[in-house]
Amino acid sequence: MTGDGPEPADGDDGQRLVEGTILRGREFEPVEGRVVVENGEIAAIEEEPVESDDIVLPAFVNAHTHIGDSIAKEAGGGLSLEELVAPPDGLKHRLLRQASTEEKIAAMHRSLEFMAEAGTAAHIEFREGDVDGVREIRAAGENVPVESVVLGRGSIDAMTASDGYGASGANDANFDRERAATGREDKLFGIHAGEVDSSDIDAAMDLDPEFLVHMVHPEPWHLDRLADAETPVVICPRSNLVTDVGLSPLPELLDRTTVALGTDNVFLNSPSMFREMEFTAKLFDVSATEVLRMATVAGADIAGLNCGLVEPGRSAELLVLDGDSHNLTGTKDVVRAVVRRAGVDDIRSVVR
């Protein structure tokens, strides 16, 4: 899914040059010029007039996914959140048990291919299925240019086999052992919290996680705890709307900590960061710059990745949009257009 225009050019010395309006740094300041790429890294940004309508921005980091659900897209209409996803017998868990290994791998592979084509560089995956589940997503991701930061669940062995542990929620089980083991291996520990109500938030925060997911229902003291601990939060607005649990207090969260954006369960929502950004920007009173930061560098920071920004020294994971597409031509505010208007059809290329 790329445009029909020219691909980024290779220089005479083997450098790769990406020209256009560059959304540079954490503020995504639009500057005209070229990005110089060497050996997969941004070597320089040369600010000067160029003959290109392209828009160059960092590729996305989807900070919370469950792509195992790819086997049953749009299943479970009308069910409550507990009926849909609660372990061990929510609909998704029953469907996953019924599916063969081959079916799950094939379905996840297709979702990862879509994510790659739609400009996603990496995602943080809470992976069901214990050690087997970790093996399945690794197999699904072979030859797909998306980095899967996989957080296993179900056992300490799943954590050891993956990049960390992704806990369901403090009301579901006691995760003290899993948290301690994850800390000993210096891996990521994330946990759902405050999705249905506030009853599991304190217990989740007591585990000192690297990040929390959802935080739809924080009380004022939870917001103070977030600020004191500097614990990042990943929000998933489309998912929360579909499951009718409410919406995270995004402006209040942004005032206190790092906030990233995730698309959550594939059987509820497409793993499209364009759709998640547009929905978030039009639903909440926050700036387009804040939303784009949530979709890129915030997730990269949580996962410890070097992508998410267009700056020298960063990995050259870039998304190039056609600024002269039918959808984007005439744009006056580039960042706002990227966040609120752009889509897969506007992609010229994805640079990796």
Would you state the pLDDT for residue 352? 93
Give pLDDT, residue 11.
56
Q: What percentage of the chain has pLDDT greater than the value 90? A: 86
At residue 77 the predicted structure's pLDDT band, cuts being 50, 70 and 90, is confident
DSSP labels, 5-48: SPPPEEPTTS-EEEEEEEEETTTTEEEEEEEEEETTEEEEEEES
Residue 4 pLDDT more than 80? Answer: no
- Would you state the structure tokens that stand for residue 124, as one six-digit string? 């943080």
Place of tokens 């995956």: 125
SS3 (DSSP) at 164: strand
Percent of the chain with pLDDT over 70: 96
- How large is the average pLDDT for residues 9-38? 90
Residue 317 banded pLDDT, cuts 50, 70, 90: very high
Instruction: State the average pLDDT for the chain.
Output: 94
Ranking 3-17, 57-71, 122-136, 338-352 by mean pLDDT, the lowest is: 3-17
Strand partners, 351: 318
Torsion of CA 67, 69, 73, 76, to 10 degrees: -140
Rounded mean pLDDT, 14-29: 96
Judge whether residue 76 has pLDDT over 90. Answer: no
pLDDT in tens, 156-196: 999 999 999 999 999 999 999 999 999 999 999 999 999 99
Whole-number pLDDT of residue 3: 42
pLDDT value, residue 8: 65
- Cα 326 to Cα 3, 5, 7, 250, 321: the distances in Å are 11, 13, 19, 32, 12
pLDDT of residue 92: 77
**How far apart are the C-alpha atoms of 75 and 69, rounded to whole Å?**
9
pLDDT value at position 79?
Answer: 79
pLDDT value at residue 6? 52
